[in-house]
Amino acid sequence: MVIYRRIRLVLHVCAWIPLAVLAFDAATANLTINPIQAAEQRTGDTAITFLILSLACTPLHLVYGAPWLMKLSRPLGLYAFLYAAVHVSIFIGIDYGFDFTLLLQELAQKPYIIVGATCLLILSALALTSFDRAKLILRKRWKQLHRLVYLAGLLAVLHFGWASKGNLFSFSGDIFRPLLAGALVLTLLIIRLPPVRRWLIQRR
């Protein structure tokens, strides 16, 4: 389908722009006064954006009846994994210099790191099994495994909100973006519930 091929091309081009901009800003010393933190935040924000877009493919198909939208879920999910991997690599390799003793100390003080690491492990498993050959090998277990993307979405939002250090009760700090991300993920998951799916299909 022509529209699918065009959108896929745009997707692949646009997906590399955040990384290219990040590399350019790093090379020109334009990453704020805390460049490592800025790089971590940018890659984390991009990762959760792609993950939400990936989760949105099925609900959008249910609403608009466009099967080609489903085909975009895999590349979007792979880009979510890519940016999450870069995010964690910056954190471990640049921020902490592969000092795993210090990292273990941080894990005890900052549980949101464990949440983020769990999310990355899930995304890694999904990325490694996202190809057609994996479907043939895993068969029914492939669908069961890839349902973990819903858990990854929830963990990503929890990690995002926890790391942002906002206070929901006093409405202070950076709470708007985590709340928006959480609302989007929950909405997309609710749409997938069988009664809601059937209602949307009937309305379509």
Query: pLDDT tens digits, residue range 10-28?
Result: 999 999 999 999 999 999 9
The per-residue pLDDT for 112 is 92
pLDDT higher for 139 or 90?
A: 90
- CA-to-CA distance for 156 and 152, rounded, in angstroms? 6
- CA-to-CA distance for 136 and 15, rounded, in angstroms? 28
Does the pLDDT at position 182 exceed 70? yes
- pLDDT tens sequence across 40-69: 999 999 999 999 999 999 999 888 888 889
Compute the average pLDDT of residues 99-125: 92
The per-residue pLDDT for 172 is 55
Task: Write b or e for each residue in 160-185: b if 16 or more Cβ atoms lie within 10 A of its Cβ, otherwise e.
Answer: bbbbbebeeeeeeeebeebbebbebb
> What is the pTM for the complete model shown?
0.92
For the chain, which residues make up each domain, given as ranges? 2-203
Q: Are 122 and 149 in contact (CB under 8 A)?
A: yes
- CA-to-CA distance for 32 and 14, rounded, in angstroms? 23
Q: Which residues pair with 167 in a beta bridge?
A: 172
